[in-house]
């Protein structure tokens, strides 16, 4: 291809664009059948036109309900009237503490009451009183000093008793 071919193409006359065929003029007033079809095809807007979020359904603008009140209302028409406020409250059954059935036979160990289950376990003495840690109330009341003196006295009595037993053992061996 030479450069003259491109130049010649530009000089060729363009084909005219055909004109659109004429369209029938529709009446301003639609036929009754078309008007009824258009009327039945109208739905309320699903989303709000102007909203801080477009995902809020339109009906929430005029009927405020909590999210828990409207569970399922968007999905089925049968639950549309259900609201938590209209539902009867749940009944709480009392757990029986007895382990006997209606005839007086032993069935199973009774369930513990809820308060007993949730109560934290009592601390053992070893957990309450760690070695080297003294409660302030014991120091102020003098109980700590009294317990310490009793412990020293018991230890002293124990050592005296052991010494007497050892002396008796030596005397028994000496006699034998």
Structural domain boundaries in the chain: 57-86, 138-175
What is the chain's mean pLDDT, rounded?
A: 74
Give per-residue pLDDT as tens, 53-81: 555 555 555 566 666 655 555 555 555 56
Helix (H) or strand (E) holding 6: helix 3-11
So what's the pLDDT on residue 70?
Answer: 56
- Give me Rg for the CA atoms of the chain: 49
- Of 89, 86, 81, 41, the C-alpha closest to 63 is 81
Bridge-partner residues for 47, per DSSP? Answer: 57
Q: Would the pLDDT of 51 be above 70?
A: no
Residue 159: band (very low, low, confident or very high) from pLDDT cuts 50, 70, 90: very high
Q: Would the pLDDT of 34 be above 60?
A: yes
So what's the pLDDT on residue 158?
Answer: 96
Rounded CA-CA distance 72/82 in Å is 9
More confident residue, 79 or 142: 142
Q: What is the pTM of this model?
A: 0.28
Angular region, 63: left φ>0, alpha ψ -120 to 50, beta rest: beta
Rounded CA-CA distance 3/118 in Å is 96
What mean pLDDT comes out for the span 123-132? 68
């Amino acid at each position: 291809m030479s450069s003259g071919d491109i130049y010649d193409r530009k000089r060729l006359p363009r084909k005219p664009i055909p004109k659109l065929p004429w369209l029938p003029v529709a009446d301003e007033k639609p036929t009754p059948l078309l008007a009824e079809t258009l009327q039945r095809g109208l739905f309320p807007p699903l989303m709000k036109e102007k909203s801080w979020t477009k995902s809020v359904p339109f009906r929430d603008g005029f009927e405020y309900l909590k999210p828990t009140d409207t569970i399922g209302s968007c999905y089925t028409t049968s639950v549309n009237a259900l609201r938590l406020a209209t539902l009867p409250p749940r009944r709480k059954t009392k757990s029986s503490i007895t382990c006997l059935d209606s005839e007086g036979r032993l069935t199973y160990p009774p369930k513990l009451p809820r308060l007993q289950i949730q109560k934290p376990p009592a601390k053992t003495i070893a957990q309450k009183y760690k070695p080297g840690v003294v409660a302030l109330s014991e120091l102020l009341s003098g109980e700590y000093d009294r317990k310490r003196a009793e412990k020293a006295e018991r230890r002293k009595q124990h050592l005296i008793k052991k010494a007497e037993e050892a002396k008796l053992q030596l005397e028994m061996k000496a006699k034998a």
